[in-house]
Amino acid sequence: MMEEYIVNLVLLGVISWTAAFLFIRKIFSNRSFEFCNRIVSTIHAVLAVTLASLSVQDWSCPVCPLASKSSPRQMQALAVSLAYLIYDLVCCLFDDKGVHLDNTIHHLVSIVGGAAGLAYQKCGSEMVAAAWITEISSPFLHLRELLKELGYRDTGINLIADIIFAVIFTFGRMVAGPYLTYVTLSANNPLLIKAMALGLQLVCVFWFYKIVRMVRYKLVKWTSKKAD
């Protein structure tokens, strides 16, 4: 049955993401815990965007059909991301930098929303679109942090990574995201799905505020550095 297959896929996914982290941790034993986790996160982001793209049923309307039964490909894509989110939530608890409330809320909202979507086997189009939107900027988010640990903090290449991340995040989370939230709330979706969509968008607004401040600070700092 599909339900049993999805549950097994999620469990296998959690084990696989954990194994990937341990393998990468062994290879980069001289790097930090966060560095290794961000490599795993980057792999997931690329895989999530790829699976989400492959599961789109109609590219003329990527979020169509709305409030419809999820296709097997959509269920598989969501299961892979749900497994990663469970792994990453637990992994973040062991990070030396401690637990960040906004990141924890984001994980919990995404996990509950993803689990609900898989349980209802509904609104697959909206959920894979959400996965695509939320993960398309993630490689650049992790790249900017990886560059810092590799010794490229406050360099031109790090600033470029910051700007690219900010631009993609803004387009994805503050342009496409609100539209996706609107159509999800407007369609005949379960109340829990609607609540999680709204919650995820509110977290994105908060992150957008922080990113604007970050970019402004980096540009002022870089301009001052050049002037000196």
**Each residue's pLDDT tens digit, 168-211:** 999 999 999 999 999 999 999 999 999 999 999 999 999 999 99
At 215 the pLDDT is 87
Query: What are the residue boundaries of the structural domains of the chain, listed by start?
Result: 2-227
Helices 124-135 and 191-227, packing angle to 10 deg: 10
% of the chain exceeding 90 in pLDDT: 75
Q: Give Dmax over CA atoms of the chain in angstroms.
A: 66
**The pLDDT of residue 61 is above 70:** yes
**The pLDDT of residue 227 is above 70:** no
Here the tokens at position 32 are 């930090």
Q: Report the alpha-carbon distance of residue 207 to residue 31 in Å, rounded.
A: 27
Band of the pLDDT at 148, cuts 50, 70, 90? very high
Q: Report the alpha-carbon distance of residue 26 to residue 203 in Å, rounded.
A: 34
Chain mean pLDDT for the chain: 91
**The pLDDT of residue 100 is above 90:** no
Q: Report the alpha-carbon distance of residue 211 to residue 219 in Å, rounded.
A: 12
Q: Report the alpha-carbon distance of residue 189 to residue 164 in Å, rounded.
A: 34
- Rounded to an integer, the average pLDDT of 12-16 is 97
Q: Report the alpha-carbon distance of residue 32 to residue 148 in Å, rounded.
A: 12
**Each residue's pLDDT tens digit, 163-173:** 999 999 999 99
- DSSP calls for 98-161: ---HHHHHHHHHHHHHHHHHHHHTB-HHHHHHHHHHHHTTHHHHHHHHHHIIIIITTSHHHHHH
Q: Report the alpha-carbon distance of residue 141 to residue 182 in Å, rounded.
A: 26
Alpha-carbon separation of residue 157 from 29, 35, 131, 150 (angstroms):
25, 18, 27, 12
**The pLDDT of residue 97 is above 90:** no
At 47 the pLDDT is 97
At 165 the pLDDT is 95
Here the tokens at position 214 are 């970050």
Contact 25, 36 (CB under 8 A): yes
Q: ω into residue 62 within 30 of 0, thus cis?
A: no
Contact 177, 184 (CB under 8 A): no
Q: Report the alpha-carbon distance of residue 58 to residue 61 in Å, rounded.
A: 6
Q: The pTM is what?
A: 0.92
Please give the DSSP secondary-structure letter assigned to residue 64: P
**The pLDDT of residue 98 is above 80:** no
**Each residue's pLDDT tens digit, 38-51:** 999 999 999 999 99
**The pLDDT of residue 64 is above 80:** yes
